[in-house]
Amino acid sequence: MRPLVLALCAAASIQAADYKLRATPDHIAWGYYSAAAKPVLRIQSGDVVDIQTVSGNPERLIQAGLKPDLIEPELKAVYEQATDKGPGGHLLTGPIYVEGAQPGDVLEVRILEIRPSVPYAYNGFRPGAGLLTDGFTESRMKIIPLDLEKKVARFALNIEVPIRPFFGSMGVAPAPAAGRINSAPPGLYAGNLDNRELVAGTTLFIPVHAAGALFEVGDGHAGQGDGEVDITAMETSLWGKFQFVLRKDLRLTWPRAETPTHWIVMGLDPDLNLAMKIAAREAIDLLMKEQGLSRDDAYMLTSIGVNFAVTQVVDGTRGIHGMIPKSLFKQ
């Protein structure tokens, strides 16, 4: 995508500052995105922030078999001291105010590093949640040990799942008129995308809807399958290092992303078919604007060269993402 190339060239002249943001009780937005939220950090475009996130309910983790001494002090403190909660349940670190960001801009979020910070993850389901609401009538949580050296999660004695960490939720505040919104459904502001492709080395582009953008991040995952069918991934605590670049030269309606090998378009809607249509239209729009294809050719190439997948079906607003291989285009 040509705008990113331009940004990478321009970034060389940016004098970036480095910050570290810990997941303390006063740095957590518990279950919401809001344009009225008080920033916990103010930065300039180009700055780099190393952000700690925490995940899990200490009491439930111990009940599921986790040793109490593995509970992070920061997670304990959040549960003991945080009082401003809801309407959702995600523990999000932030918000971060990006100076100069205004509605209509795009916040470019470069995911530089993602580091697991505890040697375990967990997965769980509960009645009435997830995809198969009629088949699983009791709650269950499973502690999954993480071998951080070998980069595998030991699901069972003879089952290992590769660790591929990413943040389930990365987003900005919605428009002020929306008020405080639940952290569960993703939207135009990104948020709880639960997109397993947003690993380190990926850049996420988010339309800005409120002054300062007000970026929040959390819902750390050690890995996840497309669909996230039981409502959780391998939930865990992560550190992430991000560079934030304000883009006043871009205009987007929906979030997009770029990896070293692909462009990623997204569609979000409670109706999975409508989410698919949004993602397909986003692919056509990108191919027309960034590759100069005609509308008809872009539609055809979307059909034969773009790979679509179900991102998740459990967040109320369902997701589809399309992977556009850069290898399609010869230099």
Domain residue limits, the chain: 18-118+165-247, 262-328
Task: Quote the pLDDT of residue 17.
Answer: 79
Give yes or no for residue 4 having a pLDDT over 80: no
| Cβ 249 vs Cβ 191: under 8 Å | no
Q: Which helix (H) or strand (E) holds 57?
A: none
Task: Quote the pLDDT of residue 15.
Answer: 64
- pTM greater than 0.85 (yes/no): yes
Task: Quote the pLDDT of residue 10.
Answer: 44
Mean of per-residue pLDDT scores for the chain: 95
User: Quick one: which of 234, 199, 222 has its CA closest to 116?
Assistant: 222
Specify the CATH class of 262-328 in words.
Answer: alpha beta
Task: Quote the pLDDT of residue 72.
Answer: 97
- Name the more confident of 165 and 9: 165
Give yes or no for residue 6 having a pLDDT over 70: no
Q: How many CA atoms lie within 13 A of 86 on its CB side?
A: 2
Report the side by side order of strands in the sheet with 152-156: 120-125, 140-147, 152-156, 159-162
Mean pLDDT calculated for residue range 181-190: 98
User: Quick one: which of 229, 188, 17 has its CA closest to 104?
Assistant: 188
Mean pLDDT calculated for residue range 62-89: 97
Report the greatest alpha carbon distance in the chain: 60
Residue tagged 């056509």 (tokens): 284
Task: Quote the pLDDT of residue 7.
Answer: 44
- Name the more confident of 216 and 330: 216
| 18-118+165-247 under CATH 2.60.120.580, yes or no | yes
Give yes or no for residue 297 having a pLDDT over 70: yes
Give yes or no for residue 8 having a pLDDT over 50: no
Distances in whole angstroms, Cα of residue 21 to Cα of each of 133, 176, 202, 271: 38, 25, 21, 37
Mean pLDDT calculated for residue range 265-282: 98
User: How do residues 112-140 score in pLDDT, each as one tens digit?
Assistant: 999 999 999 999 999 999 999 988 999 99
User: How do residues 203-227 score in pLDDT, each as one tens digit?
Assistant: 999 999 999 999 999 999 999 999 9
Amino acid at 126: R
Distance of CA 39 to the CA centre of its chain: 19
% of the chain residues with pLDDT over 70: 95
Distances in whole angstroms, Cα of residue 201 to Cα of each of 11, 109, 145, 152, 198: 16, 11, 25, 20, 8
